[in-house]
Amino acid sequence: MEVDHGEGRTAFLGALESLLHMATGLDDEQLMAASRCRGWSVADVLVHVHLGLQEMLLGLVGTTEDSPDTDAASYWRSPVPTNDPDADATTQVRFVRLVASAYRRPTGLVGHLRPTAEGVATAVGALAPGAVRFQQRVLTTGDFLATWAVELAIHSLDLQRELTLSGPPPAALLLTRRTIETLAGGPLPASWSDDKVALLGTGRVPVGREDRTEAGAVADRMPVLG
């Protein structure tokens, strides 16, 4: 799955602006609401996003002349390199919760997130088409930005477990659907909304009997994206 630089940039910037707008409108109580990420509140998800955006900056400055070895879909099949070989999913959940709890009030973390998001947006706007080295892999800039558009789209949906919020923009959701269908090895029913595909494809919502009847063998491969 290959994504054009312009398409990836548009989807990412739209997803980032949308998520930041949602986060800015939340008060302390709303930030403490449960998210769709097991063990995390809405505030915890936003801390995870903030940490991710900081890491993303490493890719934005890591331009390379090397040929890409990973695309926008295959990126999700490889484990993320770590400096802590003993870390597991529970370790990550607890670490993010500890970071979030360090803020005096939940709204404080949103104020911390904003300048990072704005800096990333500026860097993405200045990024020329080419390739970047990120997490020991090489991706085209379009594919790199697409993976982050998908990341932000999914986490925007994660904020909606208990809160009524506007969803991620269509461009980011479409890339999410394309990624999930590529990883699943086939198209999903056109009657399924992109939101539904994202939630089923990431395991946020279990695949039901009716879903399996509609989608066939492709549904049996869910979830395909963590």
Mean pLDDT, residues 165-182 taken together: 97
Indicate if the pLDDT at residue 88 is higher than 80. no
Task: Report the distance separating Cα 129 and Cα 9, nearest Å.
Answer: 10
Taking alpha carbons only, the member of 46, 173, 26, 170 closest to residue 116 is 46
- Mean pLDDT over 142-148 rounds to 98
Q: What is the pLDDT of residue 173?
A: 98
Q: Among 52-56, 81-85, 177-181, which is the least confidently predicted range? A: 81-85
Residues shown for the chain: 226
Q: What is the rounded CA–CA span in Å between residue 154 and residue 195?
A: 9
**Residue 202 pLDDT grade (very low, low, confident, very high; cuts 50, 70, 90):** very high
Q: What is the pLDDT of residue 164?
A: 95
C-alpha 136/C-alpha 119 separation (Å) is 23
Residue 37's pLDDT is 96
Contact between 145 and 5 under an 8 Å Cβ cutoff? The reply is yes
Average pLDDT over residues 49-73: 97
pTM comes to 0.95
- The CATH number of 5-190 is 1.20.120.450
Residue whose token pair is 């963590």: 226
Q: To the nearest whole number, what is the mean pLDDT of the chain?
A: 95
Instruction: Say how far residue 52 (Cα) sits from the centre of its chain.
Output: 9
Parse the chain into domains and list their residue ranges: 5-190
Each residue of 5-39: pLDDT tens digit? 999 999 999 999 999 999 999 999 999 999 999 99
Helix (H, G, I), strand (E, B) or coil at 137: strand
Rounded Cα distance between 51 and 216, Å, is 37
SS3 at position 133: strand
- At 101-129, the pLDDT tens digits run 999 999 999 999 999 999 999 999 999 99
Query: Is the pLDDT reported for residue 2 higher than 90?
Result: yes
Q: How many CB atoms lie within 10 A of CB 88?
A: 9
Under the banding of pLDDT at 50, 70 and 90, the label for residue 86 is: low
Under a CB-based contact definition with an 8 Å cutoff, are residues 51 and 43 in contact? no
CB atoms within 10 A of CB 61: 10
